[in-house]
Each structure stands twice: as structure tokens, then as C-alpha cells.
Amino acid sequence: MLGALGMGIAGLVSASSAEHQAAGETSKLNQLRRELRDETLALNGVSKSLSSIAAKVNATPNPTEIAATVGQSVFTVQTSQDEGTAWVVSSSPSGSVLITNFHVVADDWNAGDRSVTLAQGNATYPGTVVEVSQGTDLAAISVSQRFPAIPLDKALPSPGDPVVIIGSPLGLGGSVSNGIVSAVRYLDGVQYIQFTAPISPGNSGSPVVNAAGDVIGIAEAKAVAAGSEGIGLAIPVAVVCSSGLAC
């Protein structure tokens, strides 16, 4: 009896040990599954982070690409009294219309002279100031040549958005500078896009271009007070349309 009982106990102990071993293996398997899940979640997080970084990189304008594409539609404007920048806002088989600041052509316009010269590289083209909006400091110039128009983005940008400016500072046509939008603000009741990209005399009328290569504003002025730095102002491009000059 004791022998039989002893054998029974041994059998029970053996069965219990097997169950314990199986439970241990199940626990290890569950642990491995948890670790695999955690690693998968971590990899997903890295993937999302990389996608976010890629999106930011793609949203950053490439000044070289923009200069090559947009630059062919940007010209130096030469009057008898002044010099500035103009860019193509619309184009048709009969010619092109360009936008610049009114103050670039103001002296000639007020004297009754409507003719200007557009220059790009070694080429020059005769142009005519066909319409002005003195209140918004804008002017439209017509030429008989057909040049590619630059797309417009009439939505106001957000602070921090990158921008590129192409123009003719001090008459140096095709000059490229870049920066960011600092703010969209009202000054003396007039709405402006404030930006950090460097501009100089001759940049008046330059297109302010976003990461997609669309014009969002027209460079008009900059702060020149002592100690000021990187404070440029642009007219929102939607004003061109609302003024009736183009679009």
C-alpha cells in the first residue's frame, strides 16, 4: 500500500513539474510577445518621426530650384528716374502683364511717361505701364512678349513659413535671398506680410515666394531704423487681384 501510494505521489509530483514547466514556457512566450509588441510600437514611432521630418524637409523651399523656375519670370524694371523689380502675373498669346510697386514708376507716371525697360540678363524688352493703384502701391506693366506667369497663393501665410525672394537689389538682377515669415500684421491700417529675407533698394516689386514656388506677396519696404535687422514688408498678393490690376 505504501509502495503504491509512493508511486502515486511520485506520479503526481512528475505531473505537477510538467505543468509548472509548461506554465514557465507560456510565460516566456508571453514576455517575448510583449517585447515584440513594444519593439513594433517603437519602430512605428520612429517611422512617424521620420515621416514628419521628411514632410518638414519637403516643405522647405530649395532656393536653387525656385530661382531656376521662378527666376525666368522676374525682371529688373528701369525707368528714367528709378529702378526696381517686376514679375509676370499673367500671360497670353498677345503678351504678358507684370507687377511692380507704384513707387518704382511714380516719377515717370506723374510726368506722363508710361514707358519702361525690362531687363533680364543681357536681354531688354520695352514695356508700358498700363494701370496703377497708388493706394496699394502697385502698378501693372504690359509687354508684347509672352513669358511664363508665376502661380499665386492668395492665402495668408503663417509665421515661420519659409520664403524666397528674387529681385534686383541695387540693380543686381536675379539675386536670391531667403528667410521666414515673421508675422502678418497691420501698420497704419494696412495689412502686410513681415519677413526676414534681406532686401535692398531695387528689390521693390520683388515676388515673395513660398515653398511651392507660388507668389504670396510683393516686397515693398524694409525697416532702416538704427538697430533694426531683418524686418521686410510685403503686400499680400491677394491685393493685386482686389485692386483690379490683374487676376
CA–CA separation, 104 vs 86, rounded Å? 10
> Could you tell me if residue 67 is inside a domain?
no
* Final residue in a domain of this structure, among 143, 178, 202: 143
Q: Encode the chain (247 residues) as per-residue pLDDT tens digits.
A: 444 444 454 454 555 565 666 666 677 777 777 777 776 666 666 566 666 555 555 556 688 999 899 999 999 999 999 999 999 999 999 999 999 999 999 999 999 999 999 999 999 999 999 999 999 999 999 999 999 999 999 999 999 999 999 999 999 999 999 999 999 999 999 999 999 999 999 999 999 999 999 999 999 999 988 888 899 999 999 999 999 998 8
Please tell me whether residues 122 and 101 are part of one structural domain.
yes
Tell which phi-psi region holds residue 189, choosing left (phi > 0), alpha (psi between -120 and 50) or beta. left
Tell me which residue range forms the domain holding 237: 151-242
Domain count, the chain: 3
The catalytic site residues sit at 103, 137, 204
- Same domain? For 89 and 165 the reply is no
Based on the fold, state whether residues 208 and 156 are members of the same structural domain.
yes
Question: Residue 129 maps to which CATH number?
Answer: 2.40.10.10
Residue 117 belongs to a domain? yes
Same domain, 156 and 125: no
